[in-house]
Structure 1
Amino acid sequence: MTQNDNSSVLSGSVSPQRVAPRDHGGGLDGAMACFGGTRCDWIDLSTGINPCPWPVAASVWSADAWTALPDRAAAQALNDAARTLWQVPDGMDVLPAPGASALIARIPALMRAGRVHIAQPTYNEHAAAFTAHGWKVTPLDDGALDARVIVHPNNPTGAWSLPSALENLPLVIVDESFCDIAPEQSLLPHLPHEGGIILKSFGKFWGLAGLRLGFAIGDPVLLARLAEAMGPWPVSGPALAIGAAALADREWADQTRRRLAADSLRLDGLMQKAGAKVTGGTDLFRLYTVNDAAAWQARLAAARIWTRIFPWSDRLIRLGMPAPALWDRIEAAV
């Protein structure tokens, strides 16, 4: 499919282009196949997910959350909690979804394909989604653009963007999957009301990635199209209930930010003593420069600690935060 031959995609008559499997964090099955052990033996530091998740209690949901179709009241409670937490401006809508990745995969189909700017390096889901829908992805900010993707803070570098990056384009996506470590940095107050979408991940900061919950915030017209594409009941009943309760728990969030900030400094200290250089990251993951990233990954894997390296760099390695009870193992391995 060429860049301009996308009317069939817009009409839904054909599927988007197929793409090859993409490089991700996780993949403990592959690590076990290569280095041995069982899943319970391993510490997975490859994903950047909070290792101390929000404490889910059965009292959060009613029994019919599992047996009945999700109702409007539960969906509205989650929307209200999201609007309050993220201080969503009037004139913008909130759309819960089964994970931010589900939104990323659908956003490029919202309009006719053109040229989208995605600064590099960053994680590859956005580029893959736009490419699959016939867009031309460019790392060059040359002014002749139809869309822009900003990952804020960036993954894996941790770099923050300025509000000036939010120029008016037909489509501006700000991926704030890791922004809840520092909510004051959010670009939501500066987002264009027309053409603007901010993505929020529930699984990263709240640590419940298996729940599959994410949010789009922004242009009501675009979000209505996304909602139509996802169909009815995109979010499960338990996810609606757990998400609403977790987003409203400010005390837990404040305590978590303090813990993650202290843990990121502790991990930096360990890695620097071992010869690594702090290159970037956030309080949910840290990025280091080492002499040989593959050798570092293999050495840590021998101690059943899985990390993230990148096909585009032989010197960068990324580590997430360990759970409190696992620091002794991290220190011994590093």
Structure 2
Amino acid sequence: MAGPESRHEVGGPIAHGGNLSRARALFPHAPEPWIDLSTGISPYSYPHSPIPGNAFARLPEPALAQELKSIAANAYGAPSATHIAAGPGTQILLPIVAGLMGSGVNRAGVLSPTYAEHARAARLSGLDVTETEDLERLAAGRLAVIVNPNNPTGRVISKSDLLALAALMRAKGGLLVVDEAFMDVSDAESVADAVEEGGLVVLRSFGKFYGMAGLRLGFAMAHPDIVGKIEDRLGPWAVSGPALHIAGEALADDGWQRAMRTTLKADAARLDGLLAAAGVPVAGGTSLFRFIRDARVQTLFRHLGEGGILARRFEERPDDLRIGLPGRDDWARVEEALKTF
């Protein structure tokens, strides 16, 4: 990003973490298997019970989808099941939500730097998008987007500030979208309990905290009128049978959730220690990823890559790097790589 505010043209898909084919092309002599630390996905997958065979053989039952909405509303703090829509990942929900604003002269603001797909989805919906670091400027358009806690910096916006902005957007028929993809591992306050007031959509990702990104499941919480519009665009059977089974268990498992938050927090502290020993300061992040802002990050990215370890760099911000948590069997290689940096 050239400055505190920038505008980009609509383009093709944005580069993200998790692309091991690209990593192998960049570092053809790196040892296998690769350790992928380029995403903010937990290395610990939820230990669900066996998936019933009919979950694959039959179309998803509407009653199970409704039950999942009730469980999710309880887990995330939404007022009721009528305030929540479930879809095949928040990535699918982004353009649907942005499209609720229509096109033409409408403007959108995205609090930056952040997950780039929000701005792209808004542009694809015909909105004129400004990416800004100024919270107050977000209210200039009809759509405002904030990732909270932020990816990749870990920045947190207070609940009071978010609700004040939502009130401003609501008063002019606009919408505030708060992406809480990493709220499961944060001490920040969710605003999901305030969606009944209108002018607010809260997104939650299932796969990151539960270590099951491939399941493709996400939720949008909003006033029932907005939820109805989102579900109309999603159509029937938006969530697969296996996803209904797994998420229904996971979102109700308070004991596992508490234990996993403790584990992830300890792992994040362990990674901070390894980075500090290598002379690399941690500037932020969450307990699912660490954020580095340093002039040496391109060198660190290459050093790790040559060792078969993939981190997430950002072409538009060459001093920024994000590093996820190693899995149980990967710590020794990561520690050795950082020792030799």
TM over 0.5: yes
Sort the Cα spacing of 1:210 and 1:37 in 2 relative to 1 into closer, same or farther, 3 A.
farther
List runs of 5+ in structure 2 lacking aligned partners. 1-8
Residue 196 (str. 1) matches residue 200 (str. 2)? yes
Conservation of the 8 A alpha-carbon contact between 1:197 and 1:216: yes
Deviation at 1:127, TM superposition (A): 0.1
Report the CA distance shift for 1:91/1:278 in structure 2 as closer, same or farther (over 3 A): same
Instruction: Look up the match of 1:99.
Output: 89
1:45 CA drift (Å): 0.3
Return structure 1 stretches of 4+ with deviation > 4 angstroms: 37-40
- Partner deviation per Cα, 1:257-306 (whole Å, 9 max, x = no partner): 00111111111111111111111100000001233222211100111100
Q: Secondary structure at the match of 1:148?
A: strand
Q: CA deviation at 1:37?
A: 6.3
Quick one: distance in 2 between partners of 1:216 and 1:40? Answer: 38
Offset of residue 39 of structure 1 = 9.7
Secondary structure of 2:318 counterpart: strand
Aligned equivalent of 1:89, options 79, 92, 95: 79
Out of 139, 142, 147, the residue aligned to residue 146 of structure 1 is: 142
Write the distance in 1 (CA, Å) between the matches of 2:151 and 2:126. 24
Q: Which of residues 90, 109, 128 is equivalent to 2:99?
A: 109
Deviation of 1:55 after TM superposition, in Å, equals 1.2
Q: Which amino acid aligns with 1:299?
A: H
Q: CA RMSD in A?
A: 1.9
CA–CA separation in structure 1 for the residues paired with 2:12 and 2:147: 22
TM-superposition CA deviations, 1:14-61 (whole Å, max 9, x none): xxx963221211111011122136996111000010001101331xx3
1:72 paired residue number: 62
Q: How does 1:172-183 map to 2 (within 5 A)?
A: 172-182=176-186
**Residue 19 to residue 314, structure 1, CA distance change in 2 (3 Å):** closer
Residue of structure 2 equivalent to 1:227:
231
Q: Do the aligned partners of 2:108 and 2:127 also contact (CA within 8 Å) in 1?
A: yes
SS in 2 for 1:313: coil
Choose from 28, 36, 53 the match for 2:28: 36
- For residues 146-165 of structure 1, the aligned pairs below 5 Å read 146-163=142-159, 164-165=161-162
- Equivalent residue in structure 2 for 1:260, among 257, 264, 282: 264
Structure 1 portions without partners, runs of 5+: 1-16
Residue 238 of structure 2 is aligned to residue 248 of structure 1 = no
Aligned partner of residue 159 in structure 1, secondary structure: coil
Q: Is the 8 A contact 1:156 1:281 kept in 2?
A: yes
AA aligned to 2:162 is A
Cα separation, 1, equivalents of 2:93 and 2:15? 19
Partner in structure 1 of residue 306 of structure 2: 302
Question: Is the CA contact 2:88–2:217 (under 8 Å) kept in the aligned structure 1?
Answer: yes
C-alpha separation in 2, matches of 1:91 and 1:327:
41
CA distances 1:82-125 after superposition (whole Å, capped 9, x unpaired)? 02211222595111100010001211111223111111111101
- C-alpha distance in 2 between matches for 1:321 and 1:215: 24
- CA distance in 1 between counterparts of 2:38 and 2:80 reads 38
TM-score (norm 1): 0.90
CA–CA distance in 1 between the matches of 2:96 and 2:53? Answer: 32
For 2:96, the aligned partner's letter is: R
3-state SS of the aligned residue for 1:66? helix
1:292 partnered with 2:296: yes
**SS at structure 2 position matched to 1:278:** coil
**CA–CA distance in structure 2, aligned partners of residues 41 and 290 of structure 1:** 28
Over the matched positions of the two proteins, sequence identity in percent amounts to: 39
Q: Are the counterparts in 1 of residues 96 and 233 from structure 2 also a CA contact under 8 Å?
A: yes
More moved, 66-75 vs 85-94? 85-94
Q: Partners in 2 of 1:69 and 1:278 — Cα distance?
A: 46
Q: Conserved in 1, the CA contact under 8 Å of 2:149 and 2:188?
A: no
Distance 2:127 2:145 in 1: 13
- Structure 2 counterpart of 1:144, one-letter code: A
Distance in 2, matches of 1:110 and 1:272, equals 45
How far apart are 1:175 and its partner, in Å?
Answer: 0.1
Q: Which residue of 1 aligns with 2:126?
A: 134
Residue pair 1:275, 1:290 contacting (<8 A) in 2 also:
no
Aligned amino acid, residue 327 of structure 1 = W
Q: C-alpha separation between the residues in 2 aligned to 1:157 and 1:244?
A: 31
Q: How far is 1:327 from its partner?
A: 1.0
C-alpha contact (below 8 Å) 2:82/2:227 kept by paired residues = no
Q: Is the 8 A contact 1:292 1:314 kept in 2?
A: no
Q: Which position in structure 1 is the counterpart of 2:322?
A: 318
Question: Equivalents in 2 of 1:38, 1:222: separation in Å?
Answer: 48
Q: Does the aligned pair in 2 maintain the 1:100–1:214 contact within 8 Å?
A: yes
Q: Does structure 1 retain, via aligned residues, the 8 Å contact 2:70–2:81?
A: no
